[in-house]
Structure 1
Amino acid sequence: MESYRSEMLFVNMNSFLRFFVYFALFLQAFCTETDARRGSNNAPSVSFVTMSSGNELRISDNPTLVVNEKQPVSLICQFAMAKGAILREIVWYREFDDGTNVKLLTYDAIMNITQVNDLASKNIKGRGPTTLQIDSTSPTDDGWYQCHVGIYINRKILEKVGYIYLNVLVPPSKVRIAVHNSIDGNSLFRHNFSLVCRVEQSKPAANLVFTRNGKEIKEINHVNSTTLLGGMAESYADLLLTKDVSSDVKASITSGNLEIKDQETQVKSIIRYTVLHLKAQISGTKMWESSSYLLWTLYPQYDTDSEYGCLAKHESLEKAKYALQTLIMFPAGPPTEESLQIEVKPNQPSLGSNVILQLNPDLLQNIFPKPILLWTNDLGHMKNKQKFYVGNKLLLRNVRRNNTIYKVQAFNALGTASTKTILVLSDKGESKNNNAGHSGSIASILRQDLHYQNRICLLVTIFVQFLQIVVCNDMW
C-alpha cells in the first residue's frame, strides 16, 4: 500500500511539474505581448515565433555530406545559443525534389523526449538531442535535410533553420568489357573493330578508361562531334544496355594515339583510336549507366593476343575497378572457297515455301578482315527486283522457280572468293495440296450421297407405316 501511494505521488508530481513549466512559458509570452502593446498603441502585434537575429542563436550549415551506400551516417545540428537562452526543441525535416517537406524527428528539450515520425524510414532514428542517425544509407536518402532549432530568450521564442545536403554515392556495379559489332558498319567511323565497356549502375556516372596491355590509352583530343553525335542520336538506344533512360544522354567523342613497337623488328607504329562515351540516367532513379566504345583499325601483327582492359573510376572507390578482354585473332588473309559454305534451310525446300540461304558462320568468322558478302542469281534479279543482295542471310519467300543458281561472293581488302549452289525444290507440298483437294471433293460427294440415302430411307419408312395403317383398317 505504501509503494502504491509513493508511485501515485510521483506521477502527480511529474504532471504538476509539466503543468507548471508550460504555464510559466505562457505567462512569459503573455507578458512579452503586453509590454509590446504598452510601448505603442499603434504598433503592430509582435509575432510569437520570430527568426533569430544577431548572436542570440547561430546555426552552422554543412553544405554537403558525402557517404557511400550502405554506410551509417550521422547528421548533426550544430548551433550556439546566447547566454541565458533555453533550448525549446529541435526538429528534423527531409526536403524532397518536389518542394515538399516531411518531418522526420522531433526532440522536445523541455521534456527531454525524442519522437520519430511514422513517415520516416525504418533506418532513421535519433541519437542524442542534436543528431539524426541513418543506419544504412541508400540512394533514396539522397537530398536536403533541414534542422529547425527553437529557443526561449528574453521572454520570446526564436527559431532558425540549418541545411545539410546528403550525397549518397553508389560504387560502380560489375565492369564488363566485350567485343561489340553494332558500330563496325557505321560509316561515321572509319574503323573496323570496337570494344564496349559497361557499368550498368552507379551514382554518379562512372568514368571509363581503356587500357592496352596494362598501359592506359590517353584520350588527347576532344572531337568536334556535333555532326557525328547528331547522326548517331537515333541509335543511342542500341548502344545502351538500359532501355528505360532519360532523354538527356551525355555523349562525347575523343581520339587518342598509342605507340606500338614490334619486338622483332623494333619498328614503331602509331595506332589511332576513337572513343565514344555515353552516360545516361536511368528513368525514375538517381542511378546512371556508363557505356564507352573503343574503335580502331585492327592490326593482327600487333593486336593478336593483346589484353585490352577497362578501368571504372569513381569517387566512391579508392582503387578503380578493372575488366580485361584478350583478343585472339586469326591471321589476316583473303576469303577462300573452302571458308564459303552455303547452308539451305529447310534442307529439302518445296515449291511455294520460304527458304533461307546463308554461309556457315563458324567458317565465316575465320576470315579476317571481315568480308562483304554479295548474293546474285542466274535470273538477273533478287527479291524486290534488286540485282543483288548484301549480307549473310538471304531470305526467299514463296519460292516458285526450280533449279535456280545462287552465287555468293566474299570481298575484303586482301582478296575475293565465291561459291554457288543450285536451289532444288520438291513438289511434295503441291502434291499434298492436290491430294487434299481431291480427297476433299470425294468426301463431299460421299457426304452428299449419304444425305440423299437418308432422305430415301425416311420416305420408305413413312410409306411402310402408311401401308400398315391401311391394312389394319381393312381388317377392322
Structure 2
Amino acid sequence: MRKRKLPTDQEVTDGGTIKQKIFTYDAMFNTNYSHMEDYRRREDLVYQSTVRLPEVRISDNGPYECHVGIYDRATREKVVLASGNVFLTVMSPPNNISVVAENTPAPFSRYQAQNFTLVCTAKGGKPAPSVYFKRDGELIEVISYTQASTNEQGGGSAGVRGARPLISRDLDDTKLQRSLSLLDPEGRSPRLYTESPQRVHTQGQQAHEPSPATEVIPETVVSREFPRWVHSTDPLYYFSHTHLPQSDGSVVVQARLTWTLNPQLDNDALFSCEVKHPALSMPMQTEVTLAAPKGPKLLMSPTRAKVGDTVRITVQGFQNEVFPEPLFTWTRVGSRLLDGSTEREGRELILERVPAELNGSMYRCTAQNPLGSTDTHTRLIVFENPSMMKNTQNQNNGASRMDMLGLTWMALVLTVTVELT
C-alpha cells in the first residue's frame, strides 16, 4: 500500500473558527499550490513546509496551524492526521507622534489664572506605547487622574507623587504689576481641579485698558506685566491618558499634561513628549517651546492703495517661533472698522473699496496667546484714483453738455414764441 503525505499550512482568524488555507504541498508529486489570489498573495512557501512572510504587517498577527495528513491512495481513507500551531505576535512601533496645545488659539490675560494643557498623540503602536513628558530635558513628576469624559483609567489617586519645583528663572520685579488681592489665603496661586481640567478663573478687579486714542503709535509693545499670583515655585502637573483601539490592531494613545500657566516662568520653556515601545531601541521624541508672539510682520497689498481698491493687510510671520497658535485681533485706532464693527479676528484684514476718508487711518493688529500679547500698527495711505477721477470728469462734462443743450433748446423755443407773437 502506497502512502501519500499531504501537508497543508493554514491561517486561523484570531478569536474565531474560520480557517483559511495558504499553501498545500503534495509530497508524492513534489508540487505545491497556493490558495491565495494572486493580488493578495504575500506569503512564500520555501523548503516544502516553511511559510515565509517577507514584510510582516499588523494584520499578520494571530495563530497559524500546520496540518499533515497521511492516507491510503486506493481507498482515500485517512490513516494519520496530525497538526501543530504557533501564535505569531506582531509588534509595531508608533509611526507618528505630535504635540498640540488644547483649546487654542486663546487670549492672554493678566488678571485671570489660566490652566494650560499639552496633548501628545502617538499613533500606530501595537501594543500601546508608554508616553511621558519632560521639561527642559528633565522628567516631570505628575499627579495622575482620570478624566470624567472617558472610560479609560489614567492611574487614579494611587499614582500620585509629589510635584517637583520648576527650574528657577530670573524674575524682574520692576516689571510686575501687583495684584495681591488675587492670592489665596495661603499666598499661593489657585490649583487645578483634578475632576475636570477646565480653566480656573479667580475673581479679581478688572483693570481698564487704555483708550486706543491715547496709545503711542506705531510703536510695538510686548506685554510683560504679570500679577503677583503667578509666582508659584511648586506648580502641580496633572497627567491623564486615553487609549483608542484601531481596526488594524494598533492603539492611538493621547496623553495630557495640565498645569496652571505661569507666563513669567513658562515663556521659552522647552517641553518634550517621549514615547517608549518594545519595538524601539530608543524612545521617539517630539518637542515644542512655549513662546509669546513678538513683532508680527504685516504686509499690505496693494502697497500703493488707490481710492476704490480692495486692501488686504496680512500677518506674514513673527520675529520668533510662536507656540501655541496665536489669536489675531484687528482694530482701527480711534474709530470703527470699515464695516462698522469694533474688531475683527483672523490672520488677514480685508478692506473692500476703500474710500478717500480712510487716508491716514491707523490699524492695530493684536497677536496673543496664553503667554503674552503684542501690538503692531500700520498706517493706510490712500492715493487718488486717476480712472475714477476721469470718469467723474466725464460725468461732469456730460452733465455740462446736457445743461448747454437744454439752455439752447429753451432759447430756440423762446425765439420761436417771440416771432409768432
TM-score by length of 2: 0.54
- 2:94 corresponds in structure 1 to 172
For each residue in 1:284-324, what CA deviation from the matched residue of structure 2 results, as whole angstroms up to 9, or x when unmatched? x555555545454554664466543322122324x541426
What pairs up with 1:21-32 in 2 under 5 angstroms? 21=2
**Contact 1:256–1:273 (8 Å) recurs in 2:** no
- 1:453 corresponds in structure 2 to none
Name the CA distance, whole Å, in 2 between partners of 1:216 and 1:272: 14
Choose from 344, 350, 366 the match for 2:300. 344
Q: CA deviation at 1:423?
A: 3.0
- 2:382 corresponds in structure 1 to 425
**Contact 1:225–1:253 (8 Å) recurs in 2:** no
One-letter amino acid of the counterpart of residue 36, structure 2: L
Q: CA deviation at 1:135?
A: 4.9
- Specify which structure has the higher proportion of helix: 1
Asked if 1:310 corresponds to 2:278, the answer is no
CA gap of 1:367–1:96, structure 2 versus 1, over 3 A, is closer
What pairs up with 1:327-406 in 2 under 5 angstroms? 327=289, 339=295, 343-358=299-314, 361-362=317-318, 373=329, 375-376=331-332, 380=336, 383=339, 385-391=340-346, 393-400=348-355, 402-403=357-358, 405-406=361-362
Greater relative contact order (CA < 8 Å, ≥ 6 in sequence): 2
What pairs up with 1:220-369 in 2 under 5 angstroms? 220-226=143-149, 258-260=163-165, 269-274=233-238, 277=241, 285-286=248-249, 290=253, 292=255, 294-299=257-262, 302-303=265-266, 306-317=269-280, 319-323=281-285, 325=287, 327=289, 339=295, 343-358=299-314, 361-362=317-318
CA gap of 1:161–1:369, structure 2 versus 1, over 3 A, is closer
- 2:44 corresponds in structure 1 to 124
**Contact 1:253–1:275 (8 Å) recurs in 2:** no
CA gap of 1:343–1:182, structure 2 versus 1, over 3 A, is farther
For each residue in 1:385-444, what CA deviation from the matched residue of structure 2 results, as whole angstroms up to 9, or x when unmatched? 433324553222333353263443758999988676553333437439949x99xxxxxx
Name the CA distance, whole Å, in 2 between partners of 1:176 and 1:388: 37
Name the CA distance, whole Å, in 1 between partners of 2:8 and 2:305: 79
Structure 1 residue ranges, 4+ long, deviating more than 6 angstroms after superposition: 97-100, 249-257, 364-372, 411-419
For each residue in 1:5-51, what CA deviation from the matched residue of structure 2 results, as whole angstroms up to 9, or x when unmatched? xxxxxxxxxxxxxxx526xxxxxxxxxxxxxxxxxxxxxxxxxxxxx
Backbone CA RMSD of aligned residues? 5.3
Percent pairwise identity: 21
User: Highest CA radius of gyration, 1 or 2?
Assistant: 1
Q: CA deviation at 1:272?
A: 3.3
**Contact 2:132–2:273 (8 Å) recurs in 1:** yes
One-letter amino acid of the counterpart of residue 145, structure 2: H
For each residue in 1:334-362, what CA deviation from the matched residue of structure 2 results, as whole angstroms up to 9, or x when unmatched? x9xxx577653321223333222356742
Name the CA distance, whole Å, in 1 between partners of 2:270 and 2:333: 44
Name the CA distance, whole Å, in 2 between partners of 1:350 and 1:293: 51
- For structure 1, the 5+ residue unaligned runs are 1-19, 23-86, 230-248, 439-476
Secondary structure, counterpart of 1:260 in structure 2: coil
**Contact 1:257–1:270 (8 Å) recurs in 2:** no
One-letter amino acid of the counterpart of residue 21, structure 1: R
Secondary structure, counterpart of 1:431 in structure 2: helix
Choose from 88, 103, 113 the match for 2:21. 103
Q: CA deviation at 1:277?
A: 4.8
For each residue in 1:257-300, what CA deviation from the matched residue of structure 2 results, as whole angstroms up to 9, or x when unmatched? 742155589x98223335575666777x5555555454545546
CA gap of 1:425–1:409, structure 2 versus 1, over 3 A, is closer
**Contact 1:403–1:425 (8 Å) recurs in 2:** yes
Q: CA deviation at 1:137?
A: 2.6
Secondary structure, counterpart of 1:169 in structure 2: coil
**Contact 1:94–1:101 (8 Å) recurs in 2:** yes
- 2:181 corresponds in structure 1 to none
- For structure 2, the 5+ residue unaligned runs are 108-112, 171-230, 396-421
Name the CA distance, whole Å, in 2 between partners of 1:168 and 1:414: 44
Secondary structure, counterpart of 1:92 in structure 2: strand
CA gap of 1:268–1:119, structure 2 versus 1, over 3 A, is same
Secondary structure, counterpart of 1:209 in structure 2: strand
CA gap of 1:353–1:289, structure 2 versus 1, over 3 A, is farther
